[in-house]
Structures are given as C-alpha cells and as structure tokens.
Structure 1
C-alpha cells in the first residue's frame, strides 16, 4: 500500500503514515478568546482545552495495518527494476508480493458495538488490523466493509469500557468555526491540533469519487488519516482524510470527509458490508454565467438538467431538459456535485422531495431513487466546457447531419463538421461531431432552421448539444 500519494508537483496526499519517520509536529496557534472548547482552570489560572480533550481523545484510536500487496513490475521505479534484473530477481511483467505495513487513525462512533470509522486507504489490502486505544489496550480489528468512492471504512472490535464521539450534522458547519483535529501523525498517539474551518464543499481531482470535503488549517500530517475533526463542543463533524502538499507534510490545507457523507455510508456498511448507490436518471452540469444569461435563469446556484433518460425516476417525476434542481431530500443543491452526492448516497428505493426551477417558477415533486449502475456516467459536467462564451460561431463548420452518421437522438439538428483549434467556437466548447439539437430551447430540424434561429439575433444562445450519446448545454455569445 502506498502510504503517501502525491499528485503532480502540488498534489493531494492521502495521509496514512509510514512507520519509521522522524519529523516534528507543528500546531497552529490556539484560538484567541473564549469558546466552548476553552475553559479557565482556576487552580492554575490558565486557559485550557484539557477538560474537553479528556472526553474526545479516548474515542480516537491508532490503527496498525499489516498485509501484502501483489505488485506488477510496471508499478516499480526504474531503479527497482534495474536492480532486480541485474541481481537476477524477477523480470518485468511478473507479479510479486510485497509486505505492507502502515499506521493511521480511527474514531469510535459506537462504543456498545465497538464500531470504528477510518479511511479506506488506511486499511486497504490489510491482512491484520491492530487497534490501539488511548489506555494502551491492543485489540484485533475486524473489517466490516469499505467504500473506496468515499474513502470510508468500518472496523469492529470486541471490548468493554469504550468511549465514542457524538456525531454532529456537518450541514450546520460554517466557515470560521473553531475545530480540533485528533489523530496519530507519524505514530505520535493522541496528537491534538487546532484551527478553523477554512472552506466547505471542496473537491479534489476529476475522478468519479464522492467528495464534499471540509477544509481546515488545523495541522494534519501523514498518520492523521481516519482521525477526528471535532467542533468546539467535542462533537465529530468530519474524518481527516487528505492534505494538499508538495512535500507530503502539513501546509495548512487539510481535508475531512463530512459527517453527512459518513453517516450515509456507515449505515449501509454496517448492514450490507458495501454501499449501494442511488440514481434518478439525469445528466447534469453546472450553471455558467453564459448559460444563466442565455437560459434566462435568475441564479448561478443549482444543477442544470442537460438530459433526462427514458423510463427513469426523473422522467416519471416530470423533470425535463433545462430544469434547474435547487433542493433534494431537504438539502440545498448549489451545483452538479451536490446533487450527485445527495442522490448517490441515498439507499435505492428511498423516496425524496425534489425542488426545481422551470420557466422562472419553483416547483416541487417526489422522486423514488433507483439503483445506480457504477459503469454509467452520472454527470455531463466533465464534458461541459469551462469557458463557454464566444463572439460568434466562427471557426466551426456546421451542416446538416450526414446520412451515414447514426445518432441516439434521431436525425433532426445540425452537425458540427469541424472546429478550428483556438477559434471562438473551440473556446466556446464546440467540438467536431457535436450535434446541435436546439437553440434557446427551440428544436432545430436542419441547417436552414438553425440559421433562422440565430439570424439577426444577439446572443447569448443556449445550445442543446448531443455529444457521445449525452446532452449538454453550451452558451454562445
């Protein structure tokens, strides 16, 4: 198991620690003024968090992992490959087993059942999991289940006299809240650091994982993975998971999985050992300023529905292309990631309330979540352009759909035959092979009709574009 993963020069590091690293632990300055975490010790005359930490730290454990990993030679460094070949070791492309050992942290969330949450990357490929409590008891942990897409794992131990943390709703967390991080960085047990919530709703990377991180400047280092992020009342609001770092050490930018996601995942892990995800059958994308203007929307918040699949819960609930989802299951929807997380983390079969805007009017409906096919693409956001504005359609060759092109959406519309790299059309997001199906929500049957739709009119134009069998919106000014 790789204990520290760096992406590019300034990457996201998963914070499981190697065993033998000697490095100082740096803590941010304590909070100024009185808070729920800080009290006056009259006997000593000092401001302290000690009473709160006496309750919190016994619920944070150290996790020691042992196992093996089968590694292909392609996973080795060039130096490792050279040495193995020179000294007669295994040749490239021959799998080999390598010992695995690492340290991380965990949080007891149910003392009666002995349930502990940690990161999936801490216990991945583990053959043996050893849990060390603050009172120095060592127990063997049983892996209940894991969910790689949220990087959450659930471990169980059999022990008495355990302490757990109350789980608070991360929906109530605000930027600027005072927070405390507790974990075992570099194997230094029960290390406490403090800071504030720096940001909410953070995402890192363009993968298909479910991310909605709490960002904090509380010092987090390798080995803090799976540790607790608590508020000033000592309640769990997140699980420390990753850091943004060039070196793999703390730079004051740490990320924690919020309890809103944790609660949804551990419920399924405890019951089924795995997570079944929900879907409603829409492709969605973020609202850009250009789309807001061209579609006459009143806000940039919400998830724009670019297409609705036939026979899905979304179609049955009456959703249509161009609708903007603003709330789901009691939670606000600010962008496409919000609706993906909200739907994906619901148990299939759950009925939820959905609020959306159509033609300037807010509407509500009920929708029953179906089970997702993990191989399906759930969001068109990755295909949507990041800068969809342009002065004109110059740079693109647009014609009627060729007879030899087979398309899912039928033969009505116009075909983008070519796009010059660097042109206005290219910068707007148009690509060769795109099919423009509608302009300003009015269908176009052919090139003549398309030209009529844009003739003598000023942009921006809202284009409904079919690409790779999916629909997205582009805004053209």
Structure 2
C-alpha cells in the first residue's frame, strides 16, 4: 500500500509560492550593474559569490516546489473524498416543467445528479430535487459498482433526500461542523456536472447563512465560488481536511461564481431524522419572524442592533405560553447569538419536540429570559414518489410475456421467441426500462427462452434480460 502524502496547509503554501515568484524577477526599473573591472593589486581580494542569476534560479525552483505542494494538497483531498462520492441516475416521467428541470434532465426520462455516502451501511445523502418524481434510482460508486437505490425519505423544505443501497463497508465521508467553517477558506466541490462523473472544482467559502433565495422553505446556505453546474447537485462541498461542509444544491442564475450548499449541520440533522422515522418532523415555537433590519432597529425604541423580530404569535402555540408578544426581539437562543430570523429558525430545527430552549428577549429596551417548550409542527409528509411504492403493490415484476412467431425466421418456419406483451406502470420491469414489444433473447443466462422459462425465472424477484429492439440489443436487470 502506498503511503498517503500529508495534506500541506494551502494557507501557508500560497504566500510562499507568491514570495518565491517575486524573488525570481528583478525589481521593476532597477538598473542592472555593469560587470566590474579586474581588481587592482592593492585592492582587497574579491568576495566569493555565486554565479550570476543563481539566486533567482534558486528562488524560482523553490516557488515551483511550493506550487507543486499546493497542487498535491488539493489532490490529496480529492483522493480522500472521491471514493465517498456517487453518481445518481434517475428515471423520471416526461413533461417536467418545473424551474429545477435542468437538474433533473430537462424533463426527459433520464437525469443525472450526485450524492455522498453518509454511512458505511449504504445510506447516501443527495438533494430532493435530484430524485423528485423518480420512478427508479440507480447509484454508481467510484469503484464502478452499480446499485438500485430505494428512497429512505426526503425533506423538500431543505431540498435533501436520503437513499439506501444494498452494500456494506462503504467509505462514508465525515461531516464537518459547518458552523465553525471560516469564510475565505479553501473548499473543493466534487460531482457529476452534465453527467461528467467525478469532476473536481476548487474555490473558497464565500459566505455563510445565505437566505432569501425563495426556492426552499428553509434556506440557510453556504456560498462558494467553486464552479457548480447542473449535475453537481447532491455532491459534497469539502474542506481541506476532507470533511463535508455542505451538500451542493443550486446556482444563482443571475450571476457567475455563486453556488449554494446546504450546511453539514443541517444535513446531518435531516439525515438523522430520516433514518429514524423516514420523515422530518420539524419543531416550532408558534411565532412569525422577520429580520430586524437597520431601518426597523432605528424605528423601534431601544431596539438591539441585531435579532429576530416577532411579528405574530399563535394563540395556542408554545410562544404564547412563554409570554412572548409581537414586537419582541429574540437576541439569543441557548446562549447562541441570534443575528436574524434564520438563525433562530435553524437552531429550533436542531432540537426535538418536548425540549425546552431558553431565549434572550428584548422588549422595549428591557432584557429578559424565557423558556419555550418546543412542539411539532405536524406537517403532512411529502407526496409518495413512484420509486417508493412497495413491491407488494405490483404482482410479480410487472412483466407479462408470450411465445410468438420469430419475425427473423424465414417464411414457412415455426420458430418462436418470447415477446413482452405488457409492462405494469411503475413496476420493477417498467423502472428497468422494459417495453411492450421487446423480444427476450436471453433470461438469466438461458438463451432462446420460452414464456414458461421467464415465468419460472421471476420467482426469485430478479431477472437479467438481454433484449432485442428494432435498432438495438441491450441488457437490463429487473429487481424487485
């Protein structure tokens, strides 16, 4: 096994590289001295110096080495994370006209996205919009293995979803504490933009806590200038330690170099809830919130400079029981500063129903604390996708066949083939792409099968078919 190179700090290497380049060139406008004449006998012996230009050459060589170490540091991060990144292919219905259709394959039958392995036992994090409307989901690992995936659950409010494949001992990617990530630090994005698997882009963490995009109900994004394109969705944004800072989710179309990712702190919370119950049961305190803008802070007597302004209070909600009123400004929760409404919403989401949270509140210039018992919002679950329909809803594999005359045989002969007579909508056969009229050349390795052979082969819930169509021959796997 080859030893892994240590990850070198890019923050140290970049200044060194730039400094080396600066030494490699003469200062602008500085005269180059003419060669001196031979010293007179009375003159002291000349001081031994290195050959002309050797100092600049040495500096240039050092700067090249620094740049190589800089590149090696990026490559080491990719070597560490890439095995945890997966390519996701979805089969969707036609006619998709949603604003996110570019991330789902433009309304066509097939679309490509990305994902990251969350746990070694086959759980995979991705975006909800990558798999929304999916009739079948296929996951391709870095080592080339391909699996059908089932949908554990999804949360449209945060645009996250959790898949599971039947595999073990997978290289799960560690999730970072995105709250402590520093704006301006280097980041690396890995994904499958436009279906180009395992594409790597680099940039910096441009901002944290971005909201107001208007796409999802819960918006608290990391912003990066690392190139993000359709197909990157669901892939990881990682730091230089190879930890996932966020799940890449969208680009801002009206600008360049503005990509957004769901923070790892939120992604971890959603994944935990989906693994536990299959859905996200969001908590609330029963208030309407808005940011305390400078204009509002100036207009409200003795208001603090930052906070979440309460504009409504549900009569029967937790906040009403805790004596919160419209006009109150929440400045912290559990000791953590609240800069705006999103800070409060995000922190509440990270706690379970029944927990008590302490709020610091400013009311008319006076500060006080109150405890609020969180309650569930009891939101309805998202609609069931075709891929979530259980196998028990479909008889067999959803495939009916019959023995038919072989259209390839000479006239007058009685050769037969197995022809697909029907495919049930959203059945395993349908999700595998089998179509009525297909001719089955081979079933589980048996060539020239009969309809009885196909029926017998379906009993174990799996089929490997070699199919002939008018202009193509292909293999497909049907899996219950």
Q: In which range does the TM-score fall when normalised by the shorter chain?
A: 0.5 to 0.7
Question: What is the alpha-carbon distance in structure 2 between the residues aligned to residue 304 and residue 276 of structure 1?
Answer: 24
Question: What is the alpha-carbon distance in structure 2 between the residues aligned to residue 188 and residue 52 of structure 1?
Answer: 19
Q: Does 1:286 align with 2:265?
A: no
Q: Does 1:64 align with 2:73?
A: no
Q: CA deviation at 1:187?
A: 1.6
- Within the candidate set 276, 284, 288, 2:281 is matched to 276
Which residue is equivalent to 2:22?
Answer: none
- What are the equivalent positions in structure 2 for 1:184-203 lying under 5 Å apart? 184-203=192-211
Q: Does 1:244 align with 2:257?
A: no
Q: CA deviation at 1:252?
A: 1.0
Q: Does 1:350 align with 2:326?
A: no
Q: Secondary structure at the match of 2:252?
A: strand
Q: Secondary structure at the match of 2:168?
A: coil
More divergent stretch after superposition (155-164 vs 211-220) = 155-164
Distance 1:215 1:352, change over 3 A: same
Name the TM-score, length of structure 1 as normaliser: 0.61
Tell me which stretches of 4 or more aligned residues in structure 1 moved more than 4 Å. 30-33
Q: What is the number of residues matched between the two proteins? A: 315
Gaps in structure 1 of 5+ consecutive residues: 1-29, 77-97, 376-477
Gaps in structure 2 of 5+ consecutive residues: 1-8, 18-62, 99-106, 381-480
Q: Per-residue CA shift, 1:20-55, capped at 9, x if unaligned?
A: xxxxxxxxxx967538xx9x998x964312222211
Q: Secondary structure at the match of 2:369?
A: strand
Name the TM-score, length of structure 2 as normaliser: 0.60
Q: Does 1:52 align with 2:77?
A: yes
Q: Secondary structure at the match of 1:34?
A: helix
Which residue is equivalent to 2:114?
Answer: 105
- Within the candidate set 142, 145, 153, 1:137 is matched to 145
Question: What is the alpha-carbon distance in structure 2 between the residues aligned to residue 222 and residue 208 of structure 1?
Answer: 17
Distance 1:126 1:330, change over 3 A: farther
**1:108/1:164 contact within 8 Å kept:** yes
Distance 1:322 1:157, change over 3 A: same
Which residue is equivalent to 1:177?
Answer: 185
More divergent stretch after superposition (49-58 vs 164-173) = 49-58
Q: Secondary structure at the match of 2:118?
A: strand
**2:208/2:221 contact within 8 Å kept:** yes
Q: Secondary structure at the match of 2:305?
A: coil
- Within the candidate set 196, 200, 215, 2:223 is matched to 215
**2:290/2:340 contact within 8 Å kept:** yes
Q: Highest Rg: 1 or 2?
A: 2
Distance 1:189 1:41, change over 3 A: farther
Distance 1:207 1:156, change over 3 A: closer
Which residue is equivalent to 1:321?
Answer: 326
**1:175/1:199 contact within 8 Å kept:** yes
Give the helix-richer structure, 1 or 2.
2
Question: What is the alpha-carbon distance in structure 1 between the residues aligned to residue 94 and residue 268 of structure 2?
Answer: 30
More divergent stretch after superposition (116-125 vs 316-325) = 316-325
- Within the candidate set 240, 247, 253, 1:232 is matched to 240
Q: Secondary structure at the match of 1:66?
A: strand
**2:205/2:222 contact within 8 Å kept:** yes
More divergent stretch after superposition (127-136 vs 337-346) = 337-346
- Within the candidate set 340, 346, 367, 2:372 is matched to 367
Distance 1:207 1:166, change over 3 A: closer
More divergent stretch after superposition (264-273 vs 322-331) = 322-331
- What are the equivalent positions in structure 2 for 1:293-312 lying under 5 Å apart? 293-312=298-317
Question: What is the alpha-carbon distance in structure 1 between the residues aligned to residue 200 and residue 314 of structure 2?
Answer: 49
Question: What is the alpha-carbon distance in structure 1 between the residues aligned to residue 89 and residue 219 of structure 2?
Answer: 26
**2:332/2:338 contact within 8 Å kept:** yes
Q: Per-residue CA shift, 1:112-150, capped at 9, x if unaligned?
A: x21110000101111211111111111111110011111
Q: Secondary structure at the match of 1:143?
A: strand
Question: What is the alpha-carbon distance in structure 2 between the residues aligned to residue 347 and residue 171 of structure 1?
Answer: 19
Which residue is equivalent to 1:265?
Answer: 270
**1:69/1:125 contact within 8 Å kept:** no
Question: What is the alpha-carbon distance in structure 2 between the residues aligned to residue 105 and residue 346 of structure 1?
Answer: 28
Question: What is the alpha-carbon distance in structure 2 between the residues aligned to residue 360 and residue 205 of structure 1?
Answer: 32
Q: Per-residue CA shift, 1:357-396, capped at 9, x if unaligned?
A: 2343433232111122559xxxxxxxxxxxxxxxxxxxxx
Which residue is equivalent to 2:164?
Answer: 156
Question: What is the alpha-carbon distance in structure 1 between the residues aligned to residue 85 and residue 64 of structure 2?
Answer: 24
Distance 1:120 1:270, change over 3 A: same
**1:154/1:266 contact within 8 Å kept:** yes
Report which structure shows greater RCO (CA 8 Å, sep ≥6): 1
Question: What is the alpha-carbon distance in structure 1 between the residues aligned to residue 304 and residue 282 of structure 2?
Answer: 29
- Aligned CA-pair RMSD: 2.9
Q: Per-residue CA shift, 1:454-476, capped at 9, x if unaligned?
A: xxxxxxxxxxxxxxxxxxxxxxx
Q: CA deviation at 1:195?
A: 0.6
Q: Does 1:34 align with 2:13?
A: yes
